[in-house]
Structure 1
């Protein structure tokens, strides 16, 4: 069953380097600066929630050479017992794969490494439990999609053009089995239509007013979503959401990492 693939026993996270504040990649170059102390406290709260839900947390130490290293979702895609170590789309992030490969190898996963000319950020990969949707963005190319398909041959893989924002999961994520939380921006609407048109299975969609708000985690029957402090309208949508298989909801504030395009899915790798 697809729902079984959202049951996790481990997670990988990474510390936040000092260099994130001045050097992390961000779409809004003139945006509000990150409060490093607050970002680390929010991240600790996030890790505590994951610890309570999955039990086993593996922490990669922060590396000052890689300002974006906290966003561990991008250098790897894990499904079942296979880990595809990607080749991130921005060259400044490709060195992050060394520590990630070491982490997934220690956990006993079967490791596949993406090769040239493939490019992929894990933030472009939405796994529904039945199939993969892969954002075709500035960070992920067609060759990356092909290598993902070869790495996970049991599942259909469909490309979705990203018409705005950084990644596909900048506007959507799985909120429950066969349920996709999705923003209301033009890019989100485009992606939704592509999934409805080209997907191999049918899904229900939960409309969330904020793109950041539409990024959530579904872990062992529990939804981790944005907090009321950061996105009150989106939080209200999750409060009202009901679906079989959802036992609880937990709000987590990651507003500081939002400033450098980080979402809830970005900061962990979940392992069955």
Structure 2
């Protein structure tokens, strides 16, 4: 029996568009380089495929410079997929672009309707519950609507709060296995992970908190050696991916795929 929180047979990714320099960012730390980003994307897809999973790679969308961050468009659960409603107005159209692919993968596809907003980057599915972080991109109405659908499908959902100044809940945490979470100290201090085994990213390596457990691998951003050591010592097999360019657009490992 697969554990649906980290054992997957399929993933959806989207290649970066030539318009990526127009992507959203909290602060300008320079423009991403398309060639470097494409190389990193290829390494990411290769790592997913190395576990035996099928990866559906979608074409770039020049009209939507943030569209490579596919995770924000949907939540994939064993019972079906739920189309999100991004809190960033420029990203709303990405959901309609993703919908046909998900309808081809799932018989049951639901959607979050107006007025609520919710993005996949604020949702962490663990072995026992769905944690949703309220943030600038995810509001109470969006969480309530998701909770209603999740309850129909037999999932318990718990609302938590993303730290001030942090874009998404999963900017600061990721699932390592059904009951283990990698987190920044500032997020863990809120008490939202009580009852879980929590591994802290190293001081000064907060950006390493956005990683993904995908089958036997943990994919993490390269350049965070002390956090990599924490994970290796805890028994995880890690693959380091260059995230330099994605980071310029507030992106990380989880943002780049839908996993199911």
Q: Give the TM-score of the pair, scaled to structure 1.
A: 0.89
Per-residue CA distance 1:230-271 (angstroms, 9 max, x = gap): 2222222222222xxx5x322222221011111100000001
2:230 matched residue in structure 1 = 237
CA 1:5–1:232 in structure 2 vs 1: closer, same or farther (change >3 Å)? Answer: closer
Q: Which runs of 5+ in 2 are unaligned?
A: none
Q: CA deviation at 1:4?
A: 4.8
The 10-residue stretch of structure 1 (67-76 or 161-170) with the greater mean CA deviation from structure 2: 161-170
Residues 39 and 256 of structure 1 are in contact (CA less than 8 Å); yes or no, is this contact kept in structure 2?
A: yes
Residue deviations 1:106-135 (CA, integer Å, cap 9, x gap): 113410011011101100001112101111
CA RMSD of aligned residues (A): 1.6
Q: Distance in 2 between matches of 1:32 and 1:239?
A: 32
Distance in 1 (alpha carbons) for counterparts of 2:142 and 2:106: 24
Of 240, 245, 250, which aligns to 1:261? Answer: 250
For the residues of structure 2 that align with 1:36 and 1:78, how far apart are their CA atoms?
A: 28
| Residue matched to 2:181 | 180
Q: Which residue of 1 aligns with 2:26?
A: 27
Q: Output the CA distance in 2 between the equivalents of 1:233 and 1:204.
A: 19
Task: Write the mapping of 1:120-269 to structure 2, written as runs, cut at 5 A.
Answer: 120-153=118-151, 154-163=154-163, 164-184=165-185, 186=186, 188-191=187-190, 193-196=191-194, 202-209=195-202, 210-227=205-222, 230-242=223-235, 246=236, 248-269=237-258
Structure 1: state its 5+ residue gaps: 197-201
8 A Cα contact 1:226 1:235, kept in partner:
no
Shift of the 238–7 alpha-carbon distance from structure 1 to 2, 3 Å rule, reads same
* Runs of 4+ off more than 6 Å: none
User: Aligned partners of 2:167 and 2:256: how far apart in 1?
Assistant: 15
Looking at structure 1, the residues matched to 81 and 47 of structure 2 have their Cα atoms a distance apart, in angstroms, of 24
Does structure 1 conserve the Cα–Cα contact (< 8 Å) formed by 2:221 and 2:252? no
Distance 1:140 1:96 in 2: 16
Deviation at 1:222, TM superposition (A): 2.1
The residue matched to 2:60 in structure 1 has which SS? coil
The superposition leaves residues 127-165 of structure 1 with CA deviations (integer Å, 9 ceiling, x where unpaired) of 112101111001001111111112221121111111231
Greater shift in the superposed pair: 231-240 or 158-167: 231-240
Following the alignment from structure 1 to structure 2, what is the Cα–Cα distance between the partners of residues 39 and 89?
A: 25
Q: Conserved in 2, the CA contact under 8 Å of 1:2 and 1:177?
A: no
The alpha-carbon distance between structure 1 residues 2 and 215, as it changes in their structure 2 partners (threshold 3 A), is farther
1:199 corresponds in structure 2 to none
**What is the CA distance between 1:52 and its match in structure 2?**
1.5
C-alpha displacement of 1:189: 3.7
1:142-198 per-position Cα deviation (integer Å, ceiling 9, x unaligned) = 1111111122211211111112310000000101220000013x3x2444x1332xx
Mapped contact 1:11–1:57 kept (Cα < 8 A)? yes
